[in-house]
C-alpha cells in the first residue's frame, strides 16, 4: 500500500470565474465554465482538496474527482457532466 503523497497542493484564490490551484511548482486556473461542479461551492468546499496520487485530485466535500491533466488541458476532456443541481430527477 503506497504512503501518503506529500507534494504541495493549495487553493490560492477563489474568484467569480474560478480558482487558482498551486500544485507543486505549478499554478493552474480552474474555471467554472470548464468545471461547473465548483460554481456554487463554498470556499471551504473548494479549499478542502486531497491528492490521492500525482495525477489525481479529490474534493471530498463535493465528491469531485479530477485528473490533473484535465485541468491543464480541458479541451482534451470534452465530456462535461452536469452538476447535480442541473440533472433531472425521476
CATH of the domain at 70: 3.30.2020
Predicted structure pTM score: 0.77
Whether residue 3 lies inside any domain: the answer is: no
Chain centroid, CA 10 distance in Å: 11
3-class SS of residue 70: helix
pLDDT per residue as tens digits for the range 36-72: 999 999 999 999 999 999 999 999 999 999 999 999 9
Q: Does position 86 have pLDDT exceeding 90, yes or no? A: no
**Grid coordinates standing for 56?**
489525481
4 found inside a domain: no
Q: How many domains does the chain have?
A: 1
SS3 content of the chain, % helix, strand, coil (to 5): 20, 35, 45
By C-alpha distance, which of 40, 39, 37 is closest to 63? Answer: 37
Amino acid at each position: 500500500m503506497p504512503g501518503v503523497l506529500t507534494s504541495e497542493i493549495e487553493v490560492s484564490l477563489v474568484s467569480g470565474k474560478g480558482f487558482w490551484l498551486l500544485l507543486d511548482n505549478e499554478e493552474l486556473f480552474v474555471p467554472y465554465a470548464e468545471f461547473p461542479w465548483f460554481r456554487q461551492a463554498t470556499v471551504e468546499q473548494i479549499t478542502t482538496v486531497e491528492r490521492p496520487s500525482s495525477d489525481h485530485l479529490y474534493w471530498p466535500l463535493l465528491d469531485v474527482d479530477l485528473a490533473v491533466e484535465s485541468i491543464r488541458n480541458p479541451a482534451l476532456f470534452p465530456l462535461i457532466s452536469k452538476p447535480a443541481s442541473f440533472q433531472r430527477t425521476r
